[in-house]
Structures are given as C-alpha cells and as structure tokens.
Structure 1
Amino acid sequence: MRSCLLNICRLLCVCLALPFRLLKALGLRATYKRCFPRLAYTMTFKYNAKMHSKKKELFRNVCTFADSHGTLRLLEIGCGGGANFQFYPYGCTVLCADPNPHYETFLQRSMRANKHLTYEAFLVVPAEDMKEVQDESVDVVVCTLVLCSVRDVKMVLQEVRRVLKTGGAFFFLEHVMSSTSAWTHFLQHTLEPLWFYIGDGCTVTRATWKDVESAGFSQVHIQHLEAPVTAVMRPHIMGYCIK
C-alpha cells in the first residue's frame, strides 16, 4: 500500500516537473541557471544562521593542515556565493571553483566582506574535471551542499584526491538520503523528480556517505546529523577525510 502511494505521489511530481523538462528540451534552461545564483545566495544566509555552530565545528581544525611554512592553500568546489568564507582561518589562500559563471557577482560580494582571506582565482569548471588545478597542489578541499548536484560523485572524489597533497584533508557537509526516518525517506523519493529541477540538479536520494567511505582516503571521519532545515534536506553528513 505504501509503495503504491509513493509511486502515485512521485508520478504527480513527475507531471509537475514537465514544464521544466520542456524548458530544458527547448534550450531555455540557461535562463534559470542565470537566475538560480541569486536565489541560492539569499538562501545561504538562512542556512548559515541555522547551521552556524555546525560549520564552526566542521572547520575548527582546518588550520592544522597548513604546510611547514604555515601556508594554507584551500580549494572550494561548488563555491557558489562564498557561504563558507567566514569560517576559514586568517591568511588562508582560497581557490574557488564552480561550473556556473553567474555566481561570480555574489562571490565578489563575499570576498569584499571577508578580507581576512587571500583570493587566488575563480575557476568555472565542473568538479568532475578540474584540470586547471595541478596534482597534489592544495592543502585542503572543501565542499558543502555540492555532491547532491554533481553529475558523478565518484569522479568528484577522485579529483579531490588528485589535487590534495599527501596528508591534506577534504572537508564536507552534505544533505543525504534518509536511512532512519520512513516519512523523510517517503518525502524524498516522492519529491525528487520536481526537486531536481527546482534545485538546479539537486538530488535528495543519494547515499553520499558510502561514496566518501569507499573513495580511498587513509582516514575518514563522518558524522550523521539531522539539520534544522526543510524535511526533505534534513538528513546530513559532515566531517573530513585525510589523503
């Protein structure tokens, strides 16, 4: 009975997503991609307010991965509008990467508001193929709310390991598929077809922790938590891995 209800509700969401699928087929999806960064930038402030203590906890030991000269070069993939800048340590050099070039305006706003950092560049590249970043050239890689919308999580994690120096760390904070709440699990699988288009490729049914655990890092530290956000995105993982 529950499975039948899920299929009916999911079919309804598939129907509601048809206008978005039509826009994509007509090549008009680019208009939404141009507008989405403004929406995401606005939502960032609300998310950061709710997750401030968790982000402080996550990034509290980033500085320990600086090199022998005390220099810390950090690559943030899917940087968006710079939501994490305030949590990075003083003097950190930040290299930003995002496939959507329309984030740059909002990224510059965050740069002006966080003068304790040094900004190296903004690369318009997908996380699956960051060829502009040399092998073993960064001390830390960060991604938050990114792995839900990349094309291939495993490829992204391979790229993360490639660009990290040996002993470097990968920090992450991601919403994931629910493994404990039947209601949230039902909601995620029902809304996924529509949520994918509204969220610019966001997929709410990924068991991302499994990909992180099997990516080949020497150490993996993962914490599962329930974030104080909308139910469909409530299950989160956060932590760090060491190459």
Structure 2
Amino acid sequence: MYIAEVTGLLSFYKRVFPLFIYTFTYKYNDKMNDSKRELFRNLEKFYPPKGSLRILEVGCGSGANFEHYPTGCKITCTDPNPHFQKYLKKTMAKNDHLVYDSFIVASGENLKAVEDNSVDVVVCTLVLCSVNDTPKVLQEAKRVLRPVSS
C-alpha cells in the first residue's frame, strides 16, 4: 500500500474503482435481483412506531441496494472512498422513492459521525469481507441501531 501511495497508484485506484463498481452494479443486480428482493423483503417490519424507516448503509459504494428499499426510507450512506459520491448521486436520482440524508466518508470500523441509537436498520452487503476489523464493524452497527421496543 505504501508503494502504491508513493507512486500515485492508490489515488488512481480510488478514483477508478467507483466507476468500475457503478458499471458492475447493473450486471450484478440483474443476476442477484431475486436474492436481493428476498433479502430486503422484511425491512418494513423494522419501521419505528412513528416516522420513516431509517437505514444506514455501510460501504454503500454506488448504491446497488437502493431499488430494494421500501418507499419513503431515510438513507444515510457511508463509504471510506469519497469518490463513490459522484456515482451514488446518479443512483439516487434513479431511486427517487427514497429520502437521502447524508453521505459520510467513513470506514465501517469508525462510524462516530452516526449517533448512538439513531437508525432502524444497518445494511452491510459485500462489505464485511473487505474491512480490517469485522467485530469492530459489528460493534459500531449495534451502537447505532435503535433499541428494540417490546
């Protein structure tokens, strides 16, 4: 990584990778559409007693999951690569059934910009295989989730 950073390859990679993912997302979603529909079909049962469903997507990339979220959800997106925001905005425009709160440049291990107990659902798809500390990501997810009322 150090050599890639010194030679400028890391910066190039961080700029090109989001374009690749944005393009790849369409092919991936075509193949995974039924599986994603099944994965996200129960999101509505997590709605709070009042208000809209608040979703935090960790490692949002270019927003590949947005089309599967229920109408009116409030989405907060995080990704450690700030260059995803350009492609995220394109996906947001295609999914106007959602309300977009913010894009936060942050790794899953450090979600300090997200308040405790502030979201109803945390989504991490194709992310946990690429983080440095999976238990820390899960700890952060638990911290930001609202307590379940019985």
TM-score > 0.5, shorter chain as reference: yes
Residue of structure 1 equivalent to 2:125: 144
Deviations 1:4-38 (A, max 9, x none): xxxxxxxxxxxxxxxx8743454531211111000
Task: Specify the alignment match of 2:107 in structure 1.
Answer: 126
Aligned-pair RMSD on alpha carbons?
Answer: 1.6
Structure 1 residues 187-198: aligned runs within 5 Å: none
> Which of 146, 161, 172 in structure 1 is aligned with 2:142?
161
Tell me the distance in 1 between the aligned counterparts of 2:145 and 2:57: 12
Residue 48, structure 1, aligned to residue 29, structure 2: yes
The whole-number CA distance in structure 1 between the counterparts of 2:27 and 2:20 is 11
C-alpha distance in 1 between matches for 2:37 and 2:120: 19
Letter in 1 for 2:46: F
Is 1:32 equivalent to 2:13 in the alignment? yes
Q: How many Å separate the matches in 1 of 2:126 and 2:54?
A: 21
> Is the counterpart of residue 75 in structure 1 residue 48 in structure 2?
no
Give yes or no for the alignment of 1:84 onto 2:68. Answer: no
Query: TM-score scaled by structure 2?
Result: 0.94
State how far apart, in whole Å, the 2-side matches of 1:127 and 1:22 are: 25
Give the total of aligned pairs.
Answer: 149
Question: Residues 51-96 of structure 1, C-alpha deviation per residue, up to 9 Å, x if partnerless?
Answer: 1000000000101101001421110010010100000000000001
CA distance in 2, matches of 1:153, 1:64: 26
Counterpart residue number, 1:61: 42
Match status 1:96 vs 2:77: yes
Distance 2:8 2:24 in 1: 26
Query: Which structure's CA Rg is the greater one?
Result: 1
Give the Cα separation in 1 of the matches to 2:36 and 2:2: 35
How big is the shift at 1:127? Answer: 0.8
Q: How does 1:195-206 map to 2 (within 5 A)?
A: none
Q: Which has the higher strand share?
A: 1
Unaligned runs of 5+ residues in structure 2 are: none
Secondary structure at the aligned position of 1:116 is classed as coil
| Residues 36 and 158 (structure 1), Cα distance of their counterparts in 2 relative to 1, 3 Å cut | same
2:147 is paired with a residue of what secondary structure?
A: strand
- Report % sequence identity: 52
